[in-house]
Structure 1
Amino acid sequence: MRWLRVTHWLVAGLLLLSGCALPASWARAGGADGTGPVTLVTGRDLTGYMQGRLAVWNAAHPDQKATLIQLPPAADDVRAQMISNLQAKSDRYDVLNMDVAWTAEFASAGWITPLDGQGFPLDKFLKPVVDTATYRKRLYAVPYVTNAGMLYYRKDVLDRAHLPPPRTWAELASDARTVAPRYGLKGYAGQLLPYEGLTVNYAEAVQSAGGAILSDEGRKVAVDSPAALRALDFLVNGVRQGWIPRESLTFTEEESRRAFEDGGYLFMRNWPYAYGLAEAKGSKVAGKIGVAPLPGADGPGSSSLGGSNLAVSSYSRHQKTARALIRYLTGLDNERQVLEQGSLPPVWAQLYTDSALIKRFPYLPVLRQSILSARPRPKSPEYDQVSLAVAGEVHDALTLRRSPAAATAALAQDLKAILRDP
């Protein structure tokens, strides 16, 4: 799922996927003032709600219709096809639905155009999500969907043990090591396979200890710090002590979710999408789970921000319409539909205190707290290389092939080489 790279969207662009030209009905004629038909390019929408939202737009804007172009579901494929188009300076894409981690890369390359923040209701959004759309203090996109990791736990088990959900690493380790075995459970399931998910899990541990991987808007390496070493020590000790089972080192979001839903674990770190599935018919833990913010070194921790942002291609011939479409899609009514129909976390703050929505999505108050304390993933035009380096070195430590100190030192050197930071 490459979680934070999850932008679930609907099918529409088979001709594009096969490399064929767009049909004549998608002609790009428009006004010289930057208005006219536009395309919205995105990954697959598994819920199918987006086409209906664009139909409402199209009915009101017959001369500025929006066509949905779907790319393959894998985030790497979405990114690769977007970059291929942008490097060719093609005007085929107008509005890009991008993973939040791509903002720095796309902005640095000049592929997306800066935006005037006064044209969008940024002050109505949860504050941390706006930071994911900026690069070097400029706005390059508008937040559309957000995401933050939460701690899932077996509420029935902790209630029987007369324990609240853990707030600190020490409490998490103690409960996972002592309570879980008493009830025939394993301790903690994260996403610790060497991929983007491990980068996210590690980043959350580092910032929950008060550190960072990069600093100065991605210009400097900050991982060679006592806080970062403390974070890796915590994770590695969990593996050594057994409350992070070895099998968790092979988990992505879906493997950890299934292991938790099958009743095998006391705790799980995952995204909000897992809540509805865990409570669905057929889940062995339905009616037995709770959610809490991620624990931290000495108190509540900090999640990595996921989700997607909407940006305007620098090569769009209809940028005025593209910006108007983004305003429409990020408006309050559509943001409500993002949650109600798309089952994705919206960016408008007031939706997290809506009693009707909380009744339907009980995790919203915890998710709001998690988002407000979250941070974007490291900002860098070379983010993919950064993520690969992080996942590789951290996994070496988790598999006990390298000590936490040696892995941290090696990671710092890797990142300095990527950033050319002396």
Structure 2
Amino acid sequence: MRWARAAGRGLLAAALIAAGYAGAGGPATASAGGTGGRGPMTLVTGGDLTGYLRGVLADWNRGHPAEKVTLVELPEAADEVRAQMSTSLRSGSDRFDVLNIDVAWTSEFAAAGWIAPLDGRRFPLKRFLPPVVDTATFGGRLHAVPYVTNAGLLYYRKDVLDKAGEKPPRTWSELRRLARTVAPRYGLDGYAGQFLPYEGLTVNAAEALQSAGGSILADEGSRVTVNSPAARTGLEFLTGGVREGWIPRKALGYKEEESRRAFQNGRLLFLRNWPYAYPLAGAEGSKVAGKFGVVPLPGPDGPGAGILGGSNLAVNTNSRHPESAAALIRYLTSERVQRRVLTEGSLPPARADLYRDPALVRRFPYLPTLHKSLLTAKPRPKSPRYEQVNLAVQAVVHDAMAQRQSPAGALRRLRAELDAIARRG
């Protein structure tokens, strides 16, 4: 996700509320570390927009009267959620027991000692998609459990490509050609993603750089790798699109919802967005309902390397009841819970077998494509100072896309800024 804004108000909120999705799962015996202990607890998450989170937690509470969960809802905006969580954790508060955190925050929270290491043997990790499990680790240890995952997809106007006698693009060169030639022929803009300087741009940039074989950081943030020929190729894909016009300049102000509406209202040929946009684009009243499809994000020579979004569930190091917290996490990651995440929340589950369920595939036709994308996707740059890394990447990449700095100059500047951040660590 990345987490910015989903249906109605925000992808962040949609991903965050997923921490409350539950179903019938057996009690857990996993220890979160610390001295153990069972009793009442709190689950902290972003605003619940679906309206069924409280009912789901009520199911848990009826079955666990001595371990009742109180829901704490924070504001929807990602920066507000992170700020309130980190302020509480930094102070050593035990107010929150289970935290639903963006996958990109896991490294930062773990490095700070705010979330407890977990015993991976006591969670069904082998049933999860392997790249998703990687988002929950730091320093070679498991510090959270995957709950909701996400990877970007390329949405395309199937009706337009059919009329033009074209197939959906598999490579950047095919995407560029179709966006430059077919789109204007049908009065459409070519391609858009999330290019406003915020978390979404960091995701889009990391996807482009990694698809070209480059990277931003290595060794969990201790080594800066961004100034490479491969990274330059990835950045030039984005900057060239704006310069040549097949990425409209107005897309430099798009977040998830602005880009979704542009596609859904029939103004775009191609869109990079998360799976949440699929049911909305296909809903009654959408101008593209029945007229679009999805494929994996393209790269220079074939499928690209997406960025994993979603949320992980973690236990506060200072929780008074870590055994109960771990039991709740196991409950929330049970097979029935994960099924409800998809069927009721329209959010991609972390468990791999659900992507092969025939009934689910009939209901959610994008699942096979998403499954392929998830298996090749990678986490965002891991760093104990992720928020500073995020701000640096989005600022520099936006300047480059706005044609205020050359790709080569932008990467030199970004390397210097990231080096300074790494030295502070």
Q: Which band: TM-score by shorter chain?
A: over 0.9
- 2:140 corresponding residue in structure 1: 137
Give structure 1 regions of 4+ aligned residues with deviation exceeding 4 angstroms: 3-6
Q: How much has 1:5 moved relative to structure 2?
A: 4.3
The partner residue of 1:395 within 393, 398, 412 is 398
Q: Distance in 2 between matches of 1:132 and 1:360?
A: 28
Which residue, out of 4, 11, 14, partners 1:2?
4
Are 2:378 and 1:375 aligned? yes
1:249-328 maps to which residues of 2 (within 5 A)?
Answer: 249-328=252-331
Letter in 1 for 2:292: I
Cα-to-partner distance string for 1:262-310 (whole Å, 9 max, x where unaligned): 1011000000011111011111101101000000011100111000000
Query: In 2, distance between residues paired with 1:98 and 1:59?
Result: 26
CA contact (8 A) 2:172 2:301 kept: yes
- The answer to whether the aligner puts 1:233 opposite 2:229 as a matched pair is no
Aligned residue in 1 for 2:95? 92
Change (3 A) 1:171 1:421: farther
State yes or no: 1:149 paired with 2:152: yes
Determine which of 392, 409, 425 is the counterpart of 1:406.
409
For residue 328 of structure 1, report the CA deviation from its aligned partner.
0.3
Provide the C-alpha distance between the structure 2 equivalents of 1:150 and 1:111, rounded to a whole number of angstroms. 33
Matched AA of 1:287: G
Q: Distance in 2 between matches of 1:363 and 1:33?
A: 42
Counterpart CA distance in 1 for 2:262 and 2:36 is 55
For the residue of structure 1 that corresponds to 2:72, the secondary structure is: strand
- Between the aligned partners of 1:82 and 1:33, the Cα distance in structure 2 is 22
Preserved CA contact (<8 Å) 1:219 1:421: no
CA–CA separation in structure 2 for the residues paired with 1:176 and 1:323: 48
Secondary structure in 2 matching 1:420? helix
Deviations 1:144-180 (A, max 9, x none): 0001100000011111222221010000000000111
Aligned residue number for residue 340 of structure 2: 337
Q: Which residue of 2 aligns with 1:206?
A: 209
Matches within 5 A, 1:237-248: 237-248=240-251
Shift of 1:386: 0.5
Counterpart secondary structure, 2:179: helix
Letter in 2 for 1:2: A
The TM-score normalised by the length of structure 1 is 0.93
Q: Secondary structure at the match of 2:353?
A: helix
User: How far apart are the structure 1 equivalents of 2:334 and 2:244?
Assistant: 48
Is the CA contact 2:116–2:316 (under 8 Å) kept in the aligned structure 1?
yes
Aligned ranges 1:156-195 → 2 under 5 Å: 156-195=159-198
Give the whole-Å Cα distance in 2 for the aligned partners of 1:8 and 1:258. Answer: 22
The code of the aligned residue for 1:280 comes to: A
- SS of residue paired to 2:250: helix
Identity %: 65
Q: In the alignment, is the contact (CA less than 8 A) between 2:18 and 2:341 conserved in 1? A: no
Structure 1 residues 245 and 387: CA distance shift in structure 2, 3 A:
same
Unaligned runs of 5+ in 2: 6-10, 21-34
Which residue of the other structure, out of 30, 34, 40, is the alignment partner of 2:37? 34
Equivalent residue number for residue 80 of structure 2: 77
Partners of 2:354 and 2:277 lie apart in 1 by 20
Matched, 1:116 2:119: yes
* Displacement of 1:11: 12
Are 1:101 and 2:69 counterparts?
no
> Structure 2 counterpart of 1:291, which letter?
V
SS of aligned partner of 1:309 = strand
Provide Cα deviations, 1:212-258, integer angstroms capped at 9, x if missing partner: 11011221101011110011111111111100011111111111111
CA-based RMSD: 1.6
Q: What's the secondary structure of 1:9's corresponding residue?
A: helix
Paired residues of 1:53 and 1:334 also in contact (CA < 8 A): no
Write the distance in 2 (CA, Å) between the matches of 1:218 and 1:375: 15
Deviations 1:338-388 (A, max 9, x none): 111111110010111111111111111111111111000000011111011
Contact 2:18 2:148 in 1 (8 A): no
Letter of the aligned partner of 2:388 in structure 1?
Q
Measured in 1, the distance between the counterparts of 2:79 and 2:51 equals 21
Query: How far apart, CA to CA, are the structure 1 residues paired with 2:289 and 2:265?
Result: 10
TM-score (norm 2): 0.92
Alignment CA distance shift 1:315-1:246 (3 Å) = same
Cα separation, partners in 2 of 1:33 and 1:273, compared to 1, 3 Å = closer
Conserved? CA contact 1:221–1:421, under 8 Å: no
Letter in 2 for 1:330: T
Counterpart of 1:216 (choices 219, 242, 247) is 219
Q: Which one-letter code corresponds to 2:118 in the other structure?
A: L
Residue of structure 2 in register with 1:45 after alignment: 48
**Contact residue 199 and residue 390 of structure 1 kept, 8 A:** yes
> Between Structure 1 and Structure 2, how many residues are aligned?
403
Checking the alignment, whether the CA contact within 8 Å between 2:19 and 2:100 is kept in structure 1 is: no
CA contact 1:335–1:347 (8 Å) conserved in 2: yes
Letter in 2 for 1:72: P
Which structure carries more relative contact order (alpha carbon 8 Å, separation 6+)? 2
Describe the SS at the equivalent of 2:113. coil
Partner of 2:169, secondary structure, is coil
The alpha carbon displacement at 1:50 in A equals: 2.2
Q: Does 1:363 align with 2:366?
A: yes
